[in-house]
Amino acid sequence: MAIQSKIKILKSPIFNPDMTVKLTPNPSFSLTIRVALPNQTGMLASVTSAISSVGGTFGQIDMIEQSRATTIRDITVNAFSTEHNEQIVEVVKALPDIKVLDVYDRTFNLHRGGKIRVESKISLKRQSDLAMAYTPGVGRICTAIANDPKQVYNLTIKQNTVAIVTDGSAVLGLGNLGPMAALPVMEGKAMLFKEFAGIDAFPICLNTQDTDEIIRTVQNIAPVFGGVNLEDISSPRCFEIEARLRETLDIPIFHDDQHGTAIVSLAALINSLKLVQKSMAEACIVINGAGAAGVAIARLLRKAGAENIIMCDSKGVLSKDRTDMNPEKLEFAVPSGGTLEDAIAGADVFLGVSAPGVLTRSWYVLWLRIALFLQWQIPFPKFSQN
């Protein structure tokens, strides 16, 4: 019965015995294709049929202009990769009598000019408004805060403002892209704070990857902010940065890549283990990836009752006979080493928080006994398409 339930989980729409992953078209790779069609029956159908034939799915279809001879339409299509986007455009271009007028990458268009802005809460319609909001009236507010520093939370933005701090050293699953390339991610996180919690947040992308300099910079800008969200800072520096900032500042410090990922991992695992009728204590859990996310997940799973955790990094199982590990990895070192393949051979649960493409077709027989796969697809899956 247990084996049957495990195999059922593996027979999902994105998982096949030949180890081919069927990635689902999604809005992150969406296009708007503007086409000119002969104003005849069946022309739009020929376009949608061609797009469907290569796996594209549809969003909105809008009529832009129509004459007796021609119809111009915008067709929104979802794909699963940049290459798939190109394939979709080419198959439309190959249709007779159909002209592709333009192609818009909807994700790039959404990001043009940035995604956030600062807006005033107060309208400056009269001279009196200006006199109160700025000088000379603002001087009274400054004096009040100087006399009672706690008033900064009542009289300024500090009460509801978070700094999203990164050095760009571990952007999503893409690696060390630097602070400028990290900015779109930090803008997106600021949007999440505002839209889902009503909290004002602002990206702080630092042009340094020196631990001491990052800590000093955050300490120096802390008077403005009510909290700090550390983001996309590589391991193991992220552990020290968070710990030292917590020791020296009197505002909340939260490293999202550690604790945010750990929280959702625990929630997913608690519910998933119910499906296969296993307890946290008896499950053998393999975590591939021993960076910030992997270590934080393992720590939280231990607190939740997990007793059998095997962690792997790019060199294999974290074991006590290795001499290349930092203190965080040593927390989870087991007596004997081995490869990721060795670890999977005895696993009930696989958690993937590493680089993409680490699991291969040749391991399929081992996979049949694993009850649960939890992979954090940021931005690419751990399963190889091949």
134 a catalytic residue:
yes
**Number of alpha carbons in the 13 Å side-chain half-sphere of residue 67:** 5
> Which one from 8, 22, 115, 134 is the annotated catalytic residue?
134
Give the separation between CA 248 and CA 17, rounded to whole angstroms: 53
315 a catalytic residue:
no
Write the DSSP symbol of residue 210.
Answer: -
| CA distances from residue 12 to 8, 181, 363, 383 in whole angstroms, order as listed | 7, 35, 18, 14
- 3-state SS assignment for residue 145: helix
Give the separation between CA 285 and CA 343, rounded to whole angstroms: 9
| Strands of 349-352's sheet in order across | 316-317, 308-313, 284-288, 349-352, 372-375
Q: Is 42 left (phi over 0), alpha (psi -120 to 50) or beta?
A: left
Nearest to 182 by CA among 190, 118, 309, 122: 190
* Cα-based torsion angle of the residue sequence 358, 355, 109, 195 in order, rounded to the nearest 10 degrees: 120
Characterize the bridge pairing of strands 70-79 and 99-105: unpaired
Q: Is the torsion defined by CA of 290, 295, 296, 300 positive or negative? A: positive
User: Among all residues, which ones are annotated catalytic?
Assistant: 134, 189
